[in-house]
Structure 1
């Protein structure tokens, strides 16, 4: 990331935190010394803040804060632990608007004609470079641009694979829309249980050895609704089993941009047999409505995928592709990624701390150990599973929206009573308040279900 963009993030955090509207910004010399950069870098960053109307210049006086970067809002009546859309307050509206306008000027001869099923060639070349940040190295002919990860999943589920296998293996709980699509279109699907520690590798091997698995769909990082990530040992083992038994792995790495461990690589990085389909979404990091994702395919699947995608929609939105290309090339994406990591990192820490406090305050409310840390969503296992539905109803009456994970299971698969918590759209001040209320209701559910003592 460019130095001035790092400085921009620092200054925006300052404006949204210690500096309030009307406060004077530190001088150019002070900022240059503090952040070990040139005065020209400081001036460029300040000019960008002025362009986006966060500060204004006063002649012979300096720069002053015009407004904060965070949304100005008061606590609402509802704490919503269900909404999974990114926080609108950190959307890069102005940056991406600039890229859209620039895309129209740059690609005016390409935007109004049909493109190619694979995607905008210049975006694919940029995507090849960009994906190396995630330890995904692929030739351009293996990279396809799709209308979100959902389109890639539907294409993979519906198209024939070279080995003729038909059954899709899903983690349980898992992505609800994928399961719903398979059931609606009567595509054979079975589940394998996953918990905070991962899947049972012996069971996975047994299923792979059975010979009918077309592909194994997995969310290795910050799984929804579990919040857990696979260990390196798990990822290596999955790649090795896929190679041994000729099974494809479809790796949905949609939360990769929130990863703070530089040594955490995807399953794709451990694949030596070309059995992994790597999916990368930009909905959670930029805009849900952007509907652009990248699919990196094994060479054996590329021609079939191309043919079926062309029959489905000819091409994905050329304007969205062109704007994303410029957003990646300019360095704006790197700046925004660092900004959203900080924002969601704070929420993740608040969520983990709130759960630890709740476990201490209401020790009998939960079953099992504390959930995994590190993401913006997690799950709680109630000690009184049968009372979960009534506890959710009582929470709603208190203005707290939460739900179980039942929709994340295939029909017929044995569900586990589980309460989902997602804090991507919850104000930071509301996180401990909401988690405490959840724990209180779960504790009361235990007391209500406990049989009366005999005298």
Structure 2
């Protein structure tokens, strides 16, 4: 079974990556069996599965061909563009077969229970499975304090609306921070203020002052693999945040959305350092498996449970998806996939860092040494016209994201940077993409108008 999965996964990645382009004939069954060092039946089965997924089609007496991609773009054309903009997981590493197996097993195991409205807290068996799953990350909690939701965003929105025991109303956010959440807070008129965070970290004295005098309800933070900065807080910074939360009765909403992408030893979340239950811990599964899964988990302090459940009165996450995720975690597939995607992304980050060292010799751009996660900020000289640079790169089919969108509208102390994401940038494209970004930044800095 494993050999078949490896062959199928490799073929899918080559099709998605443009190595097999639209209309191209695939190697014959016998030739492919020789290339992969497997049996003819394994290749036949892989081609049949690709045809079932509408990735290839067969012509009698001729062979298998790659299906033309929608929108009229060929694989060759797609392979020319360099996507440093998308934050979604690479479709080439989606665990299609494993998760399909888990879906089938979930239906067989739970049958009719999956087609009810379900519990607003989430599937009970999944929550019990998450107890041990989260404990591996030093997040210890009983199942009663774990809530499953349809992704992290609905949880963040609900936390913003509900009252907290400290009676405060202002939400403190890092600047920059998660853009969609910032837009939500502004649109809803939620009292919000910012505190600067850079690649070097955060000013703890300023944070303490805001905790002391700012009427802060909770501090929303991404301590690990921050979006868009890509950096992580040190252990000392995480301990300090936990201590200040207890001292000033301010809650921390810890968005550990990419907890499973790292290989850093001993990275304990803020939650692990706080002994007064002032931390709400959030984790996403969509960033590791695939976005369409739309599942996240929250660990809530006892003091928030009653109010939270009064606001979240109905189930919003698919019972079937939850059951499949439970199977996926319990049989070890999640852990295996986590290691696979983590190692692939780490290799891409290394390639990006190496390219930056080669082409940023004059240190025109400030690029932090980010080693894990998916984001790396490219801080630009003030003379660079950011919009013009992005347009020039897009004309070369290189797509990046402006750092402007990750700030509150009225926040003035902004850094000028590009958010570079490696999640969908193929390894062979990274060198060229980084070189072009630095060269275009150099040209734009000379003539900013």
TM bracket (short chain): 0.7 to 0.9
The 8 Å contact of residues 371 and 379 in structure 1, kept in 2 or not, is answered as: no
**TM-score (normalizing by structure 2):** 0.84
**3-state secondary structure, aligned to 2:447:** helix
Q: 1:431, CA displacement in angstroms? A: 0.7
The 8 Å contact of residues 195 and 226 in structure 1, kept in 2 or not, is answered as: yes
The 8 Å contact of residues 371 and 380 in structure 1, kept in 2 or not, is answered as: no
Distance 1:214 1:52 in 2: 54
Q: How is 1:115-134 mapped onto 2 (pairs within 5 angstroms)?
A: 115-134=118-137
Q: 1:12, CA displacement in angstroms? A: 8.6
User: 2:34 — aligned with what?
Assistant: 23
| Pair 299,48 (structure 1): closer, same or farther in 2 beyond 3 Å | farther
| Pair 105,211 (structure 1): closer, same or farther in 2 beyond 3 Å | same
User: 2:323 — aligned with what?
Assistant: 322
Is the counterpart of residue 250 in structure 1 residue 261 in structure 2? no
Q: 1:326, CA displacement in angstroms? A: 0.7
Q: How is 1:3-82 mapped onto 2 (pairs within 5 angstroms)?
A: 21-23=32-34, 74=76, 76-82=79-85
Distance 1:241 1:12 in 2: 51
| Aligned match for 1:290, one of 275, 289, 293 | 293
Q: How is 1:264-279 mapped onto 2 (pairs within 5 angstroms)?
A: 264-279=267-282
| Pair 209,403 (structure 1): closer, same or farther in 2 beyond 3 Å | same
Distance 1:214 1:379 in 2: 29
| Pair 341,364 (structure 1): closer, same or farther in 2 beyond 3 Å | closer
Is the counterpart of residue 357 in structure 1 residue 358 in structure 2? yes
| Pair 48,413 (structure 1): closer, same or farther in 2 beyond 3 Å | farther
The 8 Å contact of residues 123 and 321 in structure 1, kept in 2 or not, is answered as: yes
**3-state secondary structure, aligned to 1:278:** strand
**3-state secondary structure, aligned to 2:113:** coil
Is the counterpart of residue 159 in structure 1 residue 159 in structure 2? no
Q: 1:252, CA displacement in angstroms? A: 0.5
User: 1:431 — aligned with what?
Assistant: 430
| Pair 365,374 (structure 1): closer, same or farther in 2 beyond 3 Å | same
User: 1:441 — aligned with what?
Assistant: 440
**3-state secondary structure, aligned to 1:279:** strand
User: 1:87 — aligned with what?
Assistant: 90
The 8 Å contact of residues 364 and 443 in structure 1, kept in 2 or not, is answered as: no
Distance 1:206 1:153 in 2: 24
Q: 1:409, CA displacement in angstroms? A: 0.6
Q: How is 1:315-394 mapped onto 2 (pairs within 5 angstroms)?
A: 315-360=316-361, 363=362, 365-366=364-365, 368=366, 370-394=368-392
The 8 Å contact of residues 256 and 283 in structure 2, kept in 1 or not, is answered as: yes
The 8 Å contact of residues 96 and 323 in structure 1, kept in 2 or not, is answered as: yes
The 8 Å contact of residues 222 and 375 in structure 1, kept in 2 or not, is answered as: yes
User: 1:411 — aligned with what?
Assistant: 409
Distance 2:418 2:180 in 1: 19
Distance 1:211 1:396 in 2: 42
Distance 2:258 2:46 in 1: 28
The 8 Å contact of residues 365 and 446 in structure 1, kept in 2 or not, is answered as: no
The 8 Å contact of residues 384 and 445 in structure 2, kept in 1 or not, is answered as: no
Deviation string 1:348-391 (CA, Å, 9 cap, x unpaired) is 1111111111211xx1532x464533332111111244422211
Distance 2:398 2:35 in 1: 39
**TM-score (normalizing by structure 1):** 0.83
- Name the stretch that deviates more: 378-387 or 212-221: 378-387
Is the counterpart of residue 195 in structure 1 residue 180 in structure 2? no
Q: 1:265, CA displacement in angstroms? A: 1.2
The 8 Å contact of residues 238 and 273 in structure 2, kept in 1 or not, is answered as: yes
Q: Which runs of 5+ in 2 are unaligned?
A: 15-30, 50-63
Q: How many residues align?
A: 410
User: 1:142 — aligned with what?
Assistant: 145
The 8 Å contact of residues 239 and 271 in structure 1, kept in 2 or not, is answered as: yes
Q: 1:8, CA displacement in angstroms? A: 9.5
| Pair 243,48 (structure 1): closer, same or farther in 2 beyond 3 Å | farther
User: 1:33 — aligned with what?
Assistant: none
**3-state secondary structure, aligned to 2:147:** strand
The 8 Å contact of residues 7 and 46 in structure 2, kept in 1 or not, is answered as: no
**3-state secondary structure, aligned to 2:408:** coil
Deviation string 1:28-62 (CA, Å, 9 cap, x unpaired) is 9xxxxxxxxxxxxxxxxxx999976799xxxxxxx
Distance 2:8 2:131 in 1: 30
Deviation string 1:172-202 (CA, Å, 9 cap, x unpaired) is 0000111111111111000000001211100
Q: 1:162, CA displacement in angstroms? A: 1.5
**3-state secondary structure, aligned to 1:325:** helix
**3-state secondary structure, aligned to 2:317:** coil
